[in-house]
Amino acid sequence: MTGVEFFLQLQQKYDKAYSAYLDDTKAERLIKEALYRSFDKIFSLMDTQKEMDELSYFLKYNQSLPVVGTSVAYPSDYYHLMGMACVYVDEVATTSIGTTSVLASKHGLRKGDTLSTSATGSAPFYTVTSVSKTGFNVDTNIPGGTTNLYHVVTYDASPSTSDKKKPSLSNPVKQNPIYYTGENTFIPSPTPYSVVVDYLAAPFDISVTDTLTDLTDFYSQKFLYRLMDECVYSVASETRDYQNKQSTTQTIIDNP
């Protein structure tokens, strides 16, 4: 289904008396509003595989973003944040680094922790297999000549609260980081090396003059029909056609 085909089917759905109500510009504005409204409705109720499938093309998981200064810029296609984790990289105080064993009297590590030889916390990674008071062992041979190891740890971040009795940034710690939203940025605290986010990307805009793009490459067929109903609802609202509005509302309820 192309944009032109979508618009033709949409025109068939609302009363012919309003056929001249929408020119191409008005139609695209209407569709865009309905599109974002549909996204919000589906996302707010996203608790089953059905809803996930409808937006699967736009769900972005485990996207690593750099922290510049103290903030993280939104991805270029960002629409809605689903979750954030903060990545911290701390140097481990070692006295001797062997092939798989490391001497470090105050390392603070636990079995299963992740290490890197890079200050940026990049691969290859080494997993701590055992610890003692004098050091620890890892699962993979560490390159000879390595002089520094870094602990790479990731913690889920929570959104800041609006509770004025307890300022949202009063006592954030690495084990329980928080973030708040700035102007097209996220500001995590304490400041991590990087963040990993799951988010919903912005929907693909529909052009009513497009004869080439197949909209089913982005949306399910059911979503497109749902979108048409949302558009009809908007037309009925703007033209104060309460009978059509009520009828479309029931259609949306019956076919969510």
Domain segments of the chain as ranges: 3-57+203-254, 68-192
Cα–Cα dist 245/218, whole Å: 28
- pLDDT score of 1 more than 90: yes
Q: What percent of the chain has pLDDT over 70?
A: 83
Reduce the DSSP state of residue 119 to 3 states and report it: coil
Cα–Cα dist 52/67, whole Å: 29
Task: Give pLDDT tens digits for 195-217.
Answer: 999 999 999 999 999 999 999 99
pLDDT score of 253: 46
Task: Give pLDDT tens digits for 119-150.
Answer: 999 999 999 999 999 999 999 999 999 999 99
Structure tokens of 174?
């690495």
How many CA atoms lie less than 13 Å away from 121 in the CB half-sphere? Answer: 18
Judged on CB neighbours under 10 Å (0-12, 13-18, 19+), 212 is: exposed
Task: Give pLDDT tens digits for 21-30.
Answer: 678 898 899 9
Contact of 21 with 10, CB cutoff 8 Å:
no
Length of the chain (residues): 256
Contact of 79 with 200, CB cutoff 8 Å:
yes
Cα–Cα dist 8/13, whole Å: 9
Judged on CB neighbours under 10 Å (0-12, 13-18, 19+), 199 is: buried
Q: How confident is the model at residue 41 (pLDDT cuts 50, 70, 90)?
A: confident
Reduce the DSSP state of residue 1 to 3 states and report it: coil
